């Protein structure tokens, strides 16, 4: 058994959390419905997202022998007005872990320690408006956050009335822009030492993947502006523009 095999075995043994079957069934139903509506199913967008179990790279930092000191606070708190998602999250609000296509970074938008996965390849879209005026959610976007880092992702205040992250489902499955929250605070898993070779790029070594089952709603077209802040001041340090209809106008 070589070093990589031993490391993977220890990581697999340390991975103890699993999402419930009901949660997974609901996620996949919404995901299939979303892609049927938008026609956005593509390998580059979310190839082989391993929701059934966390990525061994992300779920097991505590089981590795020599983790490096994380930069995130010991007791992370959400930024004002946002909701908190931490490493090891398993709920309708968000799931950490997963696996991507090996070329995921070339299809993603990068801003500081954050990657908006497949944002260059229809992974993030505008919401479909229903005849009732309500909106379909854009389900299942993925955000990669550098390990050991805490960030808040939000839309600028001028666009608060046009964009919301969703963390709770409605009985109807449709939403208005009064639902949801302006931002999410994402806490990456602790930094750790891992083998320098032999890890597939699709495992996103060095990053925590956050899959957002409910996703978001927006009536913005063209570009979706987002900003990234960090504690303790929560001052905006990076910005990103995501093409929600193929390209930014």
Domain membership of residue 73 as a residue range: 3-243
Residue 162 lies in a domain: yes
Tens-place pLDDT, residues 101-150:
888 999 999 999 999 999 998 889 999 999 999 999 999 899 999 999 99
Is 41 part of a structural domain of the chain?
A: yes
d(CA 201, CA 100): 8
Answer yes or no: is 198 within a domain: yes
pLDDT bin (cut points 50, 70, 90) of residue 91 is confident
Among 107-116, 197-206, 211-220, 239-248, the least confident range: 197-206
Peptide bond into 232 cis (omega under 30): yes
Query: Is the entire prediction scored with pTM above 0.85?
Result: no
The residue written with tokens 């966390």 in the block is 54
In a domain, 227, yes or no: yes
Tokens of 33: 């419905």
**Structural domain contains residue 191:** yes
Judge whether 249 lies within some domain.
Answer: no
The C-alpha atoms of residue 229 and residue 115 are separated, in whole angstroms, by 14
Distance CA 98, CA 58 (A): 8
The total of structural domains in the chain comes to 1
The reply to whether 248 falls in a domain is no
User: In this structure, is residue 48 part of a structural domain?
Assistant: yes
Structure tokens at 3: 């070093």
């Amino acid at each position: 058994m070589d070093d990589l095999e031993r490391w993977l075995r220890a990581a697999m043994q340390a991975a103890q959390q699993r999402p419930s079957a009901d949660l997974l069934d609901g996620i996949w139903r919404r995901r299939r419905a979303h892609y049927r509506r938008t026609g956005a199913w593509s390998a580059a967008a979310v190839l082989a997202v391993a929701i059934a179990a966390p990525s061994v790279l992300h779920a097991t930092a505590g089981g590795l022998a020599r983790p490096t000191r994380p930069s995130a606070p010991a007791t992370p708190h959400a930024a004002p007005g946002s909701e908190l998602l931490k490493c090891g999250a398993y709920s309708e609000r968000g799931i950490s872990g997963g696996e991507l296509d090996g070329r995921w970074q070339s299809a993603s938008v990068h801003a500081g320690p954050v990657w908006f996965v497949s944002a260059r390849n229809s992974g993030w879209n505008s919401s479909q408006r229903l005849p009732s005026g309500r909106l379909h959610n854009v389900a299942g976007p993925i955000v990669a956050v550098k390990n050991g880092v805490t960030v808040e992702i939000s839309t600028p205040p001028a666009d608060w009335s046009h964009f919301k992250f969703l963390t709770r489902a409605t009985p109807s499955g449709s939403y208005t822009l009064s639902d949801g929250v302006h931002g999410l605070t994402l806490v990456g898993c602790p930094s750790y030492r891992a083998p320098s070779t032999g890890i597939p790029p699709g495992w996103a070594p060095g990053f925590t993947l956050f899959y957002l089952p409910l996703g978001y709603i927006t009536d913005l077209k063209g570009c979706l502006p987002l900003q990234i802040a960090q504690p303790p001041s929560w001052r905006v340090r990076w910005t990103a523009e995501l093409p929600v209809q193929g390209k930014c106008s």
